[in-house]
Amino acid sequence: MDQSGGASCKGDEGHRSENQSDAPPIPEQVQIDDSPVYRIKRKLGKGGFGEVYVGRAISPSSSDQTGAEKVAIKFEHKDSEGCEGGIPNEWKVYDDLGESHGIPLPQVYYKGQQGYYYVMVMDLLGASLQDPLVDDLPTLPLEAIACIAVEAISILEKLHSRGYIHGDIKPGNFLLGPPGTPAEKRLFMTDLGLATRWRDPSTGSHVKYNQTPEDFRGTILFASVHAHLGRTSSRRNDLESLAYMLVYLIHGRLPWQGHQFFQGEDTSFPVCKRKMATLPETLCDSCPGPYLQFTTFVLSLKFNEEPNYARYISLFHQIIGQNPYVWPVHTDVAQEVPCKRARLNDDDEPSKKIRMESKLTQWISVYDVHPPMKQRYCSNLDYVDLILHIEKGHAEGMYLTSVTYSFSSKSWAIIMDDSTGYTAQTYAFSCASLPEEWIKKQWSDSFYITAVAGADDDRFLVVMSKGQSMNGCFIGFFDEHLGTWNVRQSCCVFHILPFKWIKKKWAEGLYVTAIATSGRQWAVVSTKGTRFTDQAVELDFQYPTEGIHERLKQGYYITSVATNPDEYSRRSTSRSTSKRRCRASVEQEMLQTSNFPDDSEIKEKWARNYYISSLCCG
């Protein structure tokens, strides 16, 4: 619903589309510049971005750079997702890495366009780690998988040292060398289609943190939780995917693999929830200790933390060292044991609790600095008490600034202030959706939505206020049409986090000023006429500590928080929006508590002029 007069809508933010289904046929033969003419033979594989075939040279060229009769040829359709901005992303990465990158990747000899396709001619490699597994998985010895682990970590270290992350680590992207050649037992990495930089080449600094929740790139089965949640990729993503890949090689499956998780339109989010709900101990059940240690280490890596590759490698040497094993992977790195082995220090253990299986109730209270004022807080309210307290506050000139519902105690909590700047306030309950007609009527009387909350019985409470907000959120904008200062609002109810809708509103100059959940519904209010100059959304299955920390460093502060209960995985999705104003940054503190904050905690904040500005419980 929009103040300018739109209809209620339901959000639906699906995930990435797959590649062309109506693409023209792959050419029967190709020639790029002065390459030999290649006849296209057997298909080697098909992925999200392209198809790879064997090419056989039928007219050798004197300037042939490959020296091979057979090559692998990758075709990417011109309109494929991987070719945004002209040429395939993979080409740009290869060009940037240059000739002597020292990373075991297939060598690329020719790149060019033929018909509807971008064509890349490269070394023909052997089987992928996905291929032998189909038959041999239960018999693949743990020593062989440890060799794969060591080689894969070493390959990632080399790629990362060149400033790139792979972005799609999975068994199908690790291939053995060409059969019958000296490289046949070496491990190679393929497919740089999703590779991105973690380091800015001009400044050498780490790329900036961001989160765009609907922006998933990768392979659902192996993707890191950070990738699912749309966080800027960093080195930890590749290592988390590698941990999943190793467990997959041992067990032949992953806990989140199964038709029940892959049904429906949005497959990424349920799988992500399942990943978050799986403890490393459960994931690595019956795997030798080093797998659990490796998984625990990489799952606790911070966004810009330098991974300790040597340490990870030394974990797997514990397995290889006792049982030297040479098939199927030749372990260059295993032979460097003495120099690669890192000391295992007890104080290196990851301390953070990274995954939680049990349900935890958490209150999040956000405090902003404010000149001394009277603030009132009440929790554990049923509907009758809620109304009584609001009315009592109104009678004393206090207005609601925050309201939230606790799903665990099935009760309401409210915050009321005497220095809001509001001159009047009204509120209404509605079921399943927002009270559209009532809201429109209040808008026409110059009230605007200042708080929203939802209960577990599908009911929403909408609070609308009139007057100039003293906290500066609502300042109004000059409406040339009306010739007055105005506040314009838009609100909607969705069944998932409506990030696309929020982004659309940002483009129109509207920023999120209130957010709430009721059951599985999300209600979002966006407003034009705020002081905010930029806004970001942080979404996580627990309090998004790291994301908030990164945002605070970037000059954002928290302006809305909400959580929703999730019966499916028995955990809560916690979400927070942060915003920035044009004036000096706001001083803000946060508290995470298992119950509504204690009197002593709140009073200690008041004594320092910190007052509750947002509150939620999940």
User: Would you name the residues annotated as active-site residues?
Assistant: 168
Residue 173 binding ligand ATP, by CB under 6 A: yes
Binding mask 508-547 for ligand ATP (x = CB under 6 A): ----------------------------------------
Least spacing, CB of residue 191 vs ligand ATP, in Å: 3
Among 44, 310, 369, 552, binds ligand ATP (CB under 6 A): 44
Residue 114 vs 468, nearer CB to ligand ATP: 114
User: What is the 3-state secondary structure of 108-173?
Assistant: EEEEEEECCEEEEEECCCCCECCHHHHHHHHHCCHHHHHHHHHHHHHHHHHHHHCCEECCCCCHHH
Pair of tokens at residue 203: 């400044």
Check residue 432 and give left, alpha or beta (phi > 0: left; psi -120 to 50: alpha): left
SS3 313: helix
DSSP 261: G
Amino acid at 307: P
Residue 159 vs 175, nearer CB to ligand ATP: 175
Dist CA 455 CA 519 (whole Å): 7
Residue 55 binding ligand ATP, by CB under 6 A: no
Least spacing, CB of residue 128 vs ligand ATP, in Å: 4
The stretch near ligand ATP (CB under 6 A) out of 49-57, 265-273, 317-325, 375-383 is: 49-57
Residue 320 binding ligand ATP, by CB under 6 A: no
Pair of tokens at residue 160: 């990362």
Among 49, 303, 405, 447, binds ligand ATP (CB under 6 A): 49
Dist CA 245 CA 172 (whole Å): 10
Residue 103 vs 536, nearer CB to ligand ATP: 103
Taken in order 33, 38, 40, 42, the sign of the CA dihedral is negative
Residue 124 vs 449, nearer CB to ligand ATP: 124
Residue 73 vs 277, nearer CB to ligand ATP: 73
**Beta strand pairing call for 50-59 and 108-114:** unpaired
The stretch near ligand ATP (CB under 6 A) out of 48-56, 369-377, 543-551, 574-582 is: 48-56
Residue 218 binding ligand ATP, by CB under 6 A: no
Residue 419 binding ligand ATP, by CB under 6 A: no
H-run or E-run covering 454: strand 448-454
Residue 454 binding ligand ATP, by CB under 6 A: no
Residues 86-145 contacting ligand ATP, CB under 6 A: 106, 122-125, 128
**Residue 602 backbone phi and psi in degrees, to 5:** -70, -40
DSSP 284: T
Site size for ligand ATP (CB under 6 A): 22
Residue 47 binding ligand ATP, by CB under 6 A: yes
Residue 113 vs 592, nearer CB to ligand ATP: 113
Binding mask 422-451 for ligand ATP (x = CB under 6 A): ------------------------------
Dist CA 350 CA 298 (whole Å): 9
Dist CA 110 CA 201 (whole Å): 26
Amino acid at 380: N
Pair of tokens at residue 93: 């990465």
Among 36, 48, 393, 565, binds ligand ATP (CB under 6 A): 48
Check residue 390 and give left, alpha or beta (phi > 0: left; psi -120 to 50: alpha): alpha
Residue nearest to ligand ATP (CB): 47
Tell me which residues touch ligand ATP (CB under 6 A). 44-45, 47-50, 52, 72, 74, 106, 122-125, 128, 168, 172-173, 175, 190-191, 193
